[in-house]
Amino acid sequence: MTKLKDLDYGIFSELLKNSKSSDREIAKKIGVSQPTVTRRRMRLEKEVIDSYTLIPKWEAAAYTLLVITLFKHRLKSRTKEEYLATRKLVLDWMMKHPNIIMDGRCTGNGADAFMISIHKNFAGYDKLSIEVTRDLGDNIRNIQPILVNLAKGNLIKPLSLKYLAEAR
């Protein structure tokens, strides 16, 4: 895994603040040449940056609900083959649902897995919740959803990676 050097971190930090910044703008801000920024950005894009994306104004994009769902796996004594088959089933199921934006293992609150999903309304979340129980219920228990109202005025600090640019 590549460790960010000072120059790379400077470029990375500027991209976190605004990924639309041109190499020329970044070079001017951090005091190096534009070709240096271009070369380093290309290396960062290969080794550090997974993708560029946008974060919408949730209300304007008609999304009103973010849900963090905590799960506890139903542990059964399984063979390695059964475990791998179940893992593939869950992965395939998750990938079929575009509203699920992140999923993985976790620790705390009696949970060992989490899922983050975004919905236009409660009905969309309710539909997904029913599908989780129906399709994956044999493999999970203790489902704990945390519902976040994305309406304007409810978020104290909106989602943004630009804040990481200030952390070192």
pLDDT at residue 35 in the model: 95
Q: What is the CATH number of domain 65-149?
A: 3.30.70.920
pLDDT of 22 > 90? The answer is yes
pTM of the model: 0.83
> How confident is the model over 41-60, as a mean pLDDT?
90
Q: Pick from 92, 112, 98, 100: which is nearest to 68 by CA?
A: 100
Whether the pLDDT of residue 1 is over 80: the answer is no
In the chain, CATH 3.30.70.920 sits at: 65-149
Amino acid at 167: A
What is the pLDDT confidence band of residue 166, given thresholds at 50, 70 and 90? confident
| C-alpha to C-alpha distances, 128 to 24, 88, 144, nearest whole angstrom | 45, 19, 14
Write out pLDDT tens, residues 74-130.
766 678 888 888 888 889 999 999 999 999 999 998 999 999 999 999 999 999 999
Residue 150: pLDDT over 90: yes
Per the model's pLDDT, the better-predicted residue between 144 and 1 turns out to be 144
Residue 144 pLDDT greater than 90, yes or no: yes
Instruction: Indicate the residue type of 86.
Output: T
Q: Where in the chain is the domain with CATH 1.10.10.10?
A: 6-52
Give φ, ψ of 48 to 5 degrees: -125, -45
Q: Find the DSSP H helices in 79-157.
A: 80-95, 122-136
Of 128, 61, 139, 57, the residue nearest 97 (C-alpha): 128
Instruction: Check residue 131 and give its pLDDT.
Output: 95
Quote the DSSP letter at residue 165: G
Q: What is the mean pLDDT of the chain?
A: 89
6-52: CATH topology is: Arc Repressor Mutant, subunit A (1.10.10)
Residue where the block lists tokens 């894009």: 45
Mean pLDDT on 45-54 = 90
Helix (H), strand (E) counts: the chain: 5, 4
